Structure 1
Amino acid sequence: MAKSADQGGGGAQEGASRNVPVGVSVATTPGPGGQVTARKAGELRDMGLDVDPRKVGVPAALQHLAKAVNIAFQTDYGENYLESVYQAAIVRRGEVHIIHRDYFGFGDSWFGQFGRLLRSMGLTLEGPDPASPEGREWIRDKGPSSIRGLFSLIGRKLDLTTEYEDRVPAYVEQMFDRLEGSGIVVGWSRDDWEIWTTRIGLDIRIAPKAAEAP
């Protein structure tokens, strides 16, 4: 009889413990403080920056695109030969400008453009396709080579060899696909935007297509 009573008491205690609101969290550091919430544990990033120009307007969509690019360059969303050579994104004259790190700081004035040209010529003399990640790696491994750099420039401009800038628009689209998949941006559509690179400086330009402009 005593054994039965003990079992009954244990069941009551177990039932009562199930009703006690107990919260469990995991500390992010060995010391006190810091919790891993469900959002952090699941790496949920639902900023929801709307980049649909028809819904939020072109100025807001451009600002959201630039902000998303800068976030991407600080995380793992630009890891497709973009974040290794591009520095930051800004909005200027109705476009998103993603600045190549080798040309960061040059303005839009005539002197700035001339500076870009001089910088581009200097890079060409370093080796083949020096503004691309592959070119940087080649120069780092084999050393500078002005002759190879000039031959590479001629071959790329004559479409005899592929150019890094030809692949950049596809890399940008992939980055925004990832950002949309993670919830950082919403309303992203490749059909809404034109993406291209400048002839001097390899900066990326993103602008709404004519049909999407107000």
Structure 2
Amino acid sequence: MNAQDLITELKRKFSISTDRALASRLGMTEIALGNWKRRTAPLSVRQIANAIDKASEAAVTRSQHSTIRPIVEFFPIERTASGANGKYSVMPSSAGAGKYQTGLKAELEAAKGLYIFYDTRGKALYAGQTKKQNLWKEMNLAFNRDRSAQVMTLVRHPTNNVAFLAANKKVRQPTDINLKLHDLAAYFSAIEVTDAMVDDLEALLVRAFPNDLLNFKMEKYGKSARKKKTAAKAKPKSAS
């Protein structure tokens, strides 16, 4: 096989324009790739087999290094009113936001993956994931959702401007209150994860802490779960 023809075809296949990028993709040095190009004799079967082996190792390494990218860990939540609909965001995103918060928001808007909310002790409360929309949007949606698992017996105190009355004058009965995540969460972590691994890693988190997290369901992971999702997507629609 002619080395130059192979290099040209590989660049086309991988949409790569430079020798340096191709060498990195194949797990070769740029010098070794240059030696290929200067060859007048065809590549031997062994050389091609070695190249395939190195490319396979490089692909595994890229996958391992790019599957998970931590964005932020245990970031303190600063509950901030978002619009006039009674919703909140996990931190200021416009007025009042500092450079650090603005930079973090930009990272979250550019990534998809997993997020975890923690209570004031740093204990995990809820783990979630997103593949369809960015982490910033999904985290703030989850931050405002009602969760029936988060029922606590508390006293409802007035939130409007009324005079205080001691408990011996005004008895306030403890009642079950359905809290939202924004009532409990104090910190969050966010991790960018490649799409193919999001479901399995979320399932692993939920299964690793089944009695700590407030997630509604026990997520499934493994080939069976992926096969079911693939089959559901591939199922033809019935004629109407």
TM-score (norm 2): 0.21
Higher fraction of strand: 2
TM-score (norm 1): 0.23
